[in-house]
């Protein structure tokens, strides 16, 4: 299976955690009523659409606006003011944010909403650009279409929902001003080695699915991508591992916020 996916889609199955992968492949074997893994592999050979479906379940896309709201509170009260002050002090007119494994766009749009709502005045001096990347091109198309079912917005404070979303036939879309702040790009973390210089990187609920050695390599790459004093935010069940620990200082252990040394 690993060789097949590498050949057909350049997908590195071996870098993902075994337990996770086996469970998810078993889901597709059952869903397609394949009698055995071998029969499922035959189906994959015949049907490129099934490869798409398999990759979709392997790269879990769960997300929502303001996921783990306390993390966004901390970003608004402490991290953004620090980064905006730092950029101004260093004479830079732009702040670069990178949302890694952005799925259908909820995380980068949440960042755009917070920046617009809380730091409107600062935006006159410092432009904020948000780059959002994911391995999955289809999920990025959905992110750009930006139409969300109401449950994805359940943690959005009512006032922000009113200000920054428009209703569209029972679904919701962030307003143009918010959408215009985010630039989406396809990027496979397991292949890419060079990154845009960033002030803030959010990589939440992505590393958890990867083998420890890959986590360590990617964390080291984040350290390379961040400007000195830049900030890394991981998911609530993720942490720094191995040699990457010496490259960051913990700012907030609860919210998994780290500063590049």
Ligand X SMILES: C[S@@+](CC[C@H](N)C(=O)[O-])C[C@H]1O[C@@H](n2cnc3c(N)ncnc32)[C@H](O)[C@@H]1O
Quick check: 188 binds ligand X (CB under 6 A)? yes
Give the binding range for ligand X (CB under 6 A) out of 96-104, 124-132, 143-151, 153-161.
Answer: 96-104
Cα 151 to Cα 73, 76, 82, 115, 148, distances in angstroms: 20, 23, 32, 23, 8
Residue from 43, 160, 175, 190 binding ligand X (CB under 6 A): 190
Alpha-carbon torsion 25, 26, 27, 30, what sign?
Answer: positive
Decide whether 50 or 192 has the Cβ nearer to ligand X. 192
Closest to 219 (Cα-Cα) out of 249, 245, 195: 245
In the range 66-95, which residues lie near ligand X by CB under 6 A?
A: 67
Residue from 204, 217, 256, 260 binding ligand X (CB under 6 A): 204
Size of the site for ligand X (CB under 6 A): 21
- The stretches of 136-254 forming alpha helices (DSSP H) are 137-145, 158-164, 176-179, 212-225
- The length of the chain is 261
CA–CA–CA angle 91, 96, 99 (5° rounding): 165
Residue from 136, 199, 238, 255 binding ligand X (CB under 6 A): 136
Nearest residue relative to ligand X (C-beta): 101
Contact 99, 181 (CB under 8 A): no
String of contacts with ligand X for each residue 31-70, x by CB under 6 A: ----------------------------xxxxx---x---
| Closest separation in Å from C-beta 120 to ligand X | 25
Quick check: 107 binds ligand X (CB under 6 A)? yes
Quick check: 3 binds ligand X (CB under 6 A)? no
| Closest separation in Å from C-beta 212 to ligand X | 15
In angstroms, the CA 170 to CA 149 distance is: 7
Alpha-carbon torsion 203, 204, 209, 214, what sign?
Answer: positive
In angstroms, the CA 55 to CA 135 distance is: 10
Quick check: 255 binds ligand X (CB under 6 A)? no
In the range 211-250, which residues lie near ligand X by CB under 6 A?
A: 235
β-strands 127-134, 94-100 pairing: parallel
Question: Which residues contact ligand X (rule: CB under 6 A)?
Answer: 59-63, 67, 101-103, 107, 134-136, 139, 188-190, 204-206, 235
């Amino acid at each position: 299976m690993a060789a097949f996916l590498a050949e057909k889609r350049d997908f590195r199955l071996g870098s993902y955690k075994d337990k996770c992968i086996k469970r998810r492949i078993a889901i597709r074997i059952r869903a397609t009523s394949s009698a055995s893994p071998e029969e499922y592999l035959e189906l994959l050979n015949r049907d490129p659409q099934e490869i798409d479906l398999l990759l979709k379940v392997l790269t879990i896309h769960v997300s929502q606006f303001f996921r783990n709201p306390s993390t966004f509170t901390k970003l608004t009260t402490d991290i953004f003011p620090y980064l905006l002050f730092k950029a101004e002090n260093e004479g830079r007119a732009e702040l670069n944010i990178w949302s890694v494994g952005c799925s259908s766009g909820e995380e980068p749009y949440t960042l755009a909403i917070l920046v617009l709502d809380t730091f409107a005045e600062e935006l006159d001096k410092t432009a904020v650009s948000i780059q959002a990347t994911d391995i999955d091109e289809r999920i990025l198309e959905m992110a750009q279409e930006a139409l969300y079912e109401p449950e994805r917005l359940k943690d959005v404070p009512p006032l922000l929902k009113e200000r920054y979303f428009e209703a569209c036939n029972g679904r919701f879309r962030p307003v143009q001003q918010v959408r215009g702040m985010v630039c989406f790009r396809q990027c496979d973390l397991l292949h890419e080695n060079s990154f845009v210089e960033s002030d803030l990187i959010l990589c939440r609920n992505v590393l958890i699915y990867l083998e420890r050695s890959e986590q360590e390599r990617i964390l080291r790459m984040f350290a390379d991508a961040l400007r000195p004093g830049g900030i890394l935010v991981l998911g609530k069940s993720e942490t720094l591992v191995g040699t990457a620990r010496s490259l960051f200082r913990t700012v907030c252990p609860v919210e998994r916020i780290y500063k590049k040394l």
